Chains A and B, each alone.
Chain A
Amino acid sequence: MTENHSASQPQTQRHRVEGPQKHIVVFVLSMVLTIIAFAAVAAGKVNKLFVIFLLLGMAIVQAFAQMAFWMHMKDRGHFFPIIGIVGGVFVVIMLVALALLWTWW
């Protein structure tokens, strides 16, 4: 593995092949969050609002981890992909808020 990692290194140095460890960590994290989510709902009789926020929070953490590592969004050169997805998510938040406000309040 490359140990010194200076900016002046040629292409081949920067493009060292990554191992599967990080991806397996993301997988285990996703599994754990999924199990907690299902268990929280299966257990029932907990504060409803608390469970909903817990579920949403864990989904967002899981989605972030998968997008950062599995979809390589944490890697350099992903400025425009981030702009694209953040723009999309921004519209989604407005759509969901609008739908909920119009229908239920």
Chain B
Amino acid sequence: MSAHEHHAGALPPEPEKATLEGRNKILGFWLFLGAETVLFGTLFSAYLAFRNSVLDGPKPEELFQLPMTFIMTVVLLVSSLTSVFAVQAMHRHKTGQMLGWMAVTIALGAVFLGLEIYEFNEYAHEGHRFTTSAFSSAFYTLVGFHGGHVAFGILWIGLVILQILKKGLTVVTAPKVYVSAIYWHFIDVVWVFIFTVVYLMGKV
């Protein structure tokens, strides 16, 4: 592990953009996020189309608990901020700090995921299962897909941490940190629309 915070002079100020490969990786990732936006858009449009098709299952306003959603929102928002701090620590070449913030980020992500699993479990007990109605299918597909992204992000950032521990912060590993942070922010931005469109508008 490279804890040489003071003589990391060889590393450029923004190591993630120091090589063409790094810059291309970031650009390619942004185009992927454009496609992800469309993917989530299809799930949102399906949800909006089916949100009143509840058959005999529970309605959104009977199901959703605002305090729970609020806690999940705050947890994910804070994790997005800690992810910013990780990238800022990287720009200062403080590898230890960066790894610490990344670890906090995935810990908060795990809390979010745990709350979501608990929430889905509660819903299932209340008779809101995947096959209950068009609403329930669209709900679980959209929110579950977001949860899947959180789970993937935890795995990804965890693996990046392991790689940094092994190889240190270099112009090769820095783009991975940066791109995984962008991904994490994207997940948070998608959640902003999920809590607004699914949970809050379901309660209005």
Task: Report A's interface with B, CB cutoff 8 A.
Answer: 11-12, 15-18, 20, 23-24, 27, 30-31, 34, 37-38, 41-42, 48, 51-52, 55-56, 58-59, 62-63, 66-67, 70-72, 77-78, 80-81, 83-85, 87-89, 91-92, 95-96, 98-100, 102-103
Contacts and interface: CB of A to CB of B under 8 A. Distances in A.
B100 interface: no
B81 interface: yes
A100 B34 CA distance: 22
B135 to A, nearest CB: 12
Interface in B52-108: 66, 69-70, 73-74, 77-78, 80-81, 83-85, 88, 91-92
Contacts of A55: 196, 200-201, 204
9 contacts: A11-B12, A30-B77, A41-B204, A55-B196, A66-B188, A71-B186, A85-B33, A85-B37, A103-B50
Chain A interface main SS type? helix
A102 B48 CA distance: 11
